[in-house]
Amino acid sequence: MNLIMLAPPGAGKGTHCTWLTEETGVAHISSGDLLRAEIGTGSALSRRLAEYTGRGDLVPDDLVFALLIPVVVAAARGTGGYLLDGFPRTVSQACRLAEIGIERDLVTDAVVYLRAPDAVLVERLLDRADREGRADDMPDVIRHRLAVFSADTAPVVGYYRDRGVLIEIDADRPVGVIRTDLRQRLADRGVLAPSAA
């Protein structure tokens, strides 16, 4: 299974990737987690990365590719697929991923778009800030990340919709309801085995 999770901050990408990985065994690759791990090393690169993530801006493509592509290729080889969380986030990242998919026979099966109103997303992120204390879950940075999603990532939704691989899910519902719906939609497309559905 080669799957992409596309969603604004706070929509629940991580939550749904967790059970999908448990059920399929496919590696969950979170670009945000990889970036935060790199930032935690304190290297020269980490300081550059933290400037972008701290503001809620996207990290430049070349840095993201260098960090992510080897992980995606290795994970796909090791686990039989990929479950991408937070990547691609721009149309240029989507194009690069498509090239690699064709070169290496790792073409994306489906793209899940979790959508929810901004007010719901802001509320969830502020709630998470209290629990996890992530540096970019501050009110002004949250607003900026949502604006970056609208400007840079919303076009990626259109890119995949045009290619007929988009599964659109209303994420403003309880987690269990979303999970049942998503599992069914993936099974309908033959992405998840019917037995798992």
Residues near ligand ADP, by CB under 6 A = 9, 31-32, 35, 52-53, 56-59, 64, 86-87, 89, 93, 136, 145
The closest residue (CB) to ligand ADP is 32
Pair 76, 20: CB distance under 8 Å:
no
Gap between the Cα atoms of 177 and 19, Å rounded: 13
Return the closest-CA partner of residue 63 out of 40, 41, 35. Answer: 35
Q: How far is the CB of 27 from ligand ADP (least distance, A)?
A: 16
Looking at beta carbons only, is 7 or 191 nearer to ligand ADP? 7
Q: Which is nearer to ligand ADP, 30 or 192 (CB)?
A: 30
Pairing of strands 110-115, 82-85: unpaired
Report, in Å, the least distance between residue 156 CB and ligand ADP: 10
Contacts of residue 49, Cβ cutoff 8 Å, sequence gap at least 6: 35, 38, 39, 59, 63
Q: Provide, rounded to whole angstroms, the least separation between the CB of residue 23 and ligand ADP.
A: 22
CB of 104 to ligand ADP, least distance (A): 19
- Taking residue 9's Cβ as centre, other Cβ atoms within 10 Å add up to 22
Of 175 and 196, which CB lies nearer to ligand ADP in the complex structure?
Answer: 175
Specify the residue, 146 or 192, whose C-beta has the smaller distance to ligand ADP. 146
Q: Which is nearer to ligand ADP, 18 or 187 (CB)?
A: 18
CB contact at 8 A, 99 and 167: no
Q: How far is the CB of 153 from ligand ADP (least distance, A)?
A: 9
Say if CB 60 and CB 90 are below 8 A apart. Answer: no
How many Å apart are CA 193 and CA 26, to the nearest integer?
Answer: 13
Provide the residue type at 77 as one letter.
R
